[in-house]
Amino acid sequence: MADEQAVGGATVGGKNGGAQEAIRLHASDHLGIALVSFLLNGINYLSWSRSVKIALGANMKLSFINGKSERPSEDSKDFEQWQRADYMVTSWIINSISKDIAKAFLYTISAREL
């Protein structure tokens, strides 16, 4: 297709390629990733937010917080894979927040709610 691109061995773009790539977890994706080099502490939100967006964009997971990766219905074949990827993104974000602040976000339903 004219609107597809090969990126790192994967085809993205096209009708559904970007969404499929966003929910795909890679061997380097794990819960302990340091998404940014500093924690959100309450006074550094602007720089922290920009750093998180850059890191998620580099990992092709920005769509989980900007609303472009919509939660599929629970009976969809993609639901479990989407949910695992969303849990991963949620974990990355919570791990990038100071412990005092992170406590308030432990029970969010999705990464987008953070």
pLDDT in tens, 2-46: 444 433 333 334 445 556 766 676 656 667 777 899 999 999 999
Whether pTM exceeds 0.85: no
**40-67 pLDDT tens trace:** 999 999 999 999 999 999 988 999 999 8
Residue 56, number of CB atoms within 10 A of its CB: 22
Which positions ≥6 away from 78 have C-beta within 8 Å?
Answer: 23, 72
Question: What are the structural domain ranges in the chain?
Answer: 4-113
What 3-state class would DSSP assign to 67?
A: coil
- In the block, residue with structure tokens 């969010």: 108
When pLDDT is cut at 50, 70 and 90, the band that residue 1 belongs to is very low
Per-residue model confidence (pLDDT) at position 114: 84
Q: Which residues pair with 55 in a beta bridge?
A: none
Output the pLDDT for position 92: 92
